[in-house]
Structure formats: structure tokens, C-alpha cells
Amino acid sequence: GAVVSQHPSWVICKSGTSVKIECRSLDFQATTMFWYRQFPKQSLMLMATSNEGSKATYEQGVEKDKFLINHASLTLSTLTVTSAHPEDSSFYICSAQAPDHRDRSLNYGYTFGSGTRLTVV
């Protein structure tokens, strides 16, 4: 249980184009999803919090017009990197939070997707 599917697992795009990354909760409804960015050998940095049916909350320093987040359903959130540049190359990871996050079963804790390696050339 508590599987989060992230797609694609890797993508290479040309500078100036846009890329969409999908995050799906497969067997539970995720009222909240989180998007993180991770540079090589560094920790995860929270970019934004995505709430179903409402606007995302962005962390300080994250450009909301560049990183568009849509959480149109309880099982899907998307991150679109617009007008991508080489400095946007990174590992992007989503996590999903089930309503019963206090369930002591690890399966319904904070579950991460497998990540998307974005390379902008």
C-alpha cells in the first residue's frame, strides 16, 4: 500500500522548452503532495506544497511562474518546469501524504515517488 508513482523517471529537454512531471498516488487519496528538488550529493529542498483544489504554496526563493504546480485531483499532482534552462537540471521528487498519516504502519506515512532526473541541454 501507499505507492507513489512519478513519471517520467528521467527526461532530457532543450533549453527554453517546458517539461511536465507527474506524481500519482496509486492506492490512496493524497490531499497534500510536496515537491522537492535535490542537487547531487545534497539534501532535499522543499519547493512547494500542493493542496488538492487550491493554489500551491511555494517556499521562499522558488519562482511560482517557473515551476507551475497543478493538483487537480486527489491522486494527481503535476509540476511543470517552464522555459527550462540548464540550471534547472536537477532531481525532482514528489511525496504524498495520506489522510491517515498518523497510522503507525509505515505504508501510510510520508511516501516519496522515485524521482525524475531532469537534464536541460
Partner 1 sequence: GQQLNQSPQSMFIQEGEDVSMNCTSSSIFNTWLWYKQDPGEGPVLLIALYKAGELTSNGRLTAQFGITRKDSFLNISASIPSDVGIYFCAGQLTTDSWGKFQFGAGTQVVVTP
Residue 12, interface with partner 1 (CB under 8 A)?
Answer: no
Peptide bond into 86 cis (omega under 30): no
- For residue 6, what is the enclosing H or E element? strand 4-7
- For residue 61, what is the enclosing H or E element? none
Residue 104, interface with partner 1 (CB under 8 A)?
Answer: yes
The interface with partner 1 within residues 49-88 (CB under 8 A) comprises 49
Residue 35, interface with partner 1 (CB under 8 A)?
Answer: no
Residue in 46, 62, 68, 74 binding partner 1, rule: CB under 8 A: 46
CB contact set of 72 (below 8 Å; sequence gap of 6+): 52, 53
- Of 32 and 120, CB closest to partner 1: 32
Residue 93, interface with partner 1 (CB under 8 A)?
Answer: yes
Whether residue 114 contacts residue 52, with contact meaning beta carbons closer than 8 Å, is answered with: no
Min CB(2)–partner 1 separation in Å: 9
The maximal CA–CA distance of the chain, rounded, in angstroms, is 45
Residue 34, interface with partner 1 (CB under 8 A)?
Answer: yes
Q: Quickly count: other Cβ atoms within 10 Å of residue 115's Cβ.
A: 18
The site for partner 1 (CB under 8 A) is made up of 4, 6, 32, 34, 42-46, 49, 91, 93, 95, 97, 101-102, 104, 106, 109-115, 117
